[in-house]
Amino acid sequence: MADPETRYGYRGGTTPTPKDPYADYWTFYGISSTDPVANIIKNRIQAGDDPNDVFTEYAALLGTGPFTPKPETGGGGGGAPAYSSTRQAAQEAMAFESAESEKSRVFSAEQSRLDAENTARMNRLRDFNDLLREAMGYQQSAREMRFGLRTDPFALAGTFSGGPMRGTTPVEAFGNQLQNFANAPLPQLGAAPAMPQIEQGISQVQALGAPPVGGGFGMEQGGIMGAQGPDFSPPGYSVIVGEGALNGDEEVVTRLNNGTVLVTPLKGGAQFGATLGPTSPTASSSFAALSPLYRSLGFSNVPTAAPTGPNWGYSVSGGLDALTKLGYRPSLVRQQGKPEVYYRDPSGALRHVANEDVFNRSGFNWNDVLNLSPEELGRYGPMGAALTAPPADIGPGQGAFGPAGSPFLTPWGQLLPNPYNVTGPIRWASPSDIGGIYSAYGAAKTPWGTGNAITPEQLAEMVGPRPGPDFFTPFPRGVPGRVLGFR
C-alpha cells in the first residue's frame, strides 16, 4: 500500500517528487543542497568517496553544522558572524579547485586527442614511405626494361619497306610508356607534413601503379624448335628462347655436357663480345672498327645525324648526298626552317602534305622528317599534286635490297650505312673488326633515340654468310650478362 505522500500525489493528479537521498546530510551538516559546493560533494560521492567523509570535510571547511563556531558580536549594536569571511574563503578555494580540476580534465582530453592524431599521422606517413620506396623500385625496373628494348622488328621492317614509317610501332609505344612511367614525378613531403598532405601523397603514389607490361614483340617469344622443345643437340650449343621475365633481356639456354641446362640473360648489344676501346666504348674508339664501312663508300669523315627539335625532324651532316651514298631515301622531307612537309610518293614526286590533319591521319611521324637545304629539296624530286588524303596503305615496294627510308645511328649519332650498301665489307671483315660492326648495328637507333637494332642473325641474312667457321660465332662466350660494345 502506498505511503501517504504517494497517495496524496495520486489524488492530486501529480507525479510525486523522488526523495533526495542526501537530505539528512544537508540538514545535519548545515550545507544547502543548492549551494555551489553541493555539486562538488555530489561528484565526489558519485566518484566513490564515502558520503560521511565528504560532508565532514566540506562542513569543516565551511564552518557549518557541527563545526559552526559561536557567533561573536562587535560593538555598536550587534554584528555579523565572524566566520562569514572564512566561509567565503573556503568557497573561493573550492571554486578554484573545481576550475583547476576542469582545466586538467580538458587538457588531458586534448592531449589524448593530439596523441591519437599523431599516432594516426605517423602510421600513414609510414604507409606513404613504404609506397614511395615501392614506386621508386618500379621506376628503376621500368628504366631497365626501357634499356632492354633495343631491337624493334617492326621498325626494322618499316625501314626497308620502301615507304614512310607509319605511326608508332608496338615496341616504340611500349618504350614510350616505360619512359613516361620512369620519369613520372613522385610526391615529396615536407619535414612535418600534415595528414591532408600525407593522404594526397599516398593517392599520388597509388595512382602511379605498377610498370606497364608489354607483350611478346616480333619473334622473341617463338615456339617449338624441336619435337621436345628447343633443339639443344649436340651439347654445348645455345638457343635464344625469348625475353626474360625480369627486365626484358633475351635469355640464352645452353645444354651442358653433363646434361644440365644453363639459362643466361643476354645483355647489351655486343653478342660477339666486341670491345671498341681499351676499357669501355667511346665515340672516338668506335671509328676504327667502323671505318672500313665508310671507306668503301668514299667517305673521309663519318657522317652524323641529330634531331632539330620537337616536330621538326632531323638533319644530317653531308646532307642528301651523304644519305644517298649510305643507302637511304627518306619519304618525308621539308626545307630547313620551313613548316611545309612533303611526302615522296613511290613515283618519286614530292607532294605537299596539305595540313596537319592529313599528316596525322596518314600515320606519319614528325620525327621521320628530313630537313634539306633549298637546293637539295629542289633536286630531290619533281613537285606533284598536294596530298589531301592519306596515301594507299599498299604501294610498290623497293624490294629487299632497296634503299632504307630511315637511318640507323650508333649511340653517338654516327650514321651507319644501309647494310645492303656494304655487304662486301661486312661479309669479308676480319674477325677483329666484325665484333665491332655487329655491336654497332646491334645497338642502332633512330635519330630520335628509339631502338632500331639489327641482330647479327638478321645482318647475316642481309649480307650473306661469312666464309669459314671462325667468322661467325652465333652466341657469346665468356662472362654471362656482361655488357660489352655499344650501349
pLDDT at 118: 87
Q: pLDDT tens, 345-378?
A: 888 899 999 899 998 898 888 888 999 999 988 8
Name every residue whose Cβ is closer than 8 Å to that of residue 468 and which is 6 or more positions away in sequence.
Answer: none
Name every residue whose Cβ is closer than 8 Å to that of residue 420 and which is 6 or more positions away in sequence.
Answer: 327, 400, 401, 402, 404, 462, 463
According to CATH, the topology of domain 330-397 is TTHA1013/TTHA0281-like (3.30.2390)
pLDDT at 351: 92
pLDDT at 159: 73
Class of residue 86 by CB neighbours under 10 A (exposed 0-12, middle 13-18, buried 19+): middle
pLDDT at 169: 74
- The rounded distance, in Å, linking the Cα atoms of 141 and 146 is 8
pLDDT at 138: 86
Mean pLDDT by 10 residues, the chain (487 residues): 51 64 89 86 89 88 81 48 57 69 79 87 88 87 74 70 68 80 86 87 88 61 36 51 48 59 54 38 60 85 82 85 87 89 89 91 87 89 90 61 80 86 85 80 82 83 71 41 33
Q: pLDDT tens, 11-65?
A: 555 556 678 888 889 889 888 888 888 888 888 898 889 999 889 888 888 888 8
pTM over 0.75, yes/no: no
- The rounded distance, in Å, linking the Cα atoms of 429 and 437 is 9
Q: Where along the chain do its domains lie?
A: 101-208, 219-266, 269-305+398-487, 330-397
- The rounded distance, in Å, linking the Cα atoms of 242 and 253 is 10
pLDDT at 255: 58
Q: How far is CA 262 from the centre of its chain?
A: 33
pLDDT at 353: 92
**66, 29 Cβ separation under 8 angstroms:** yes
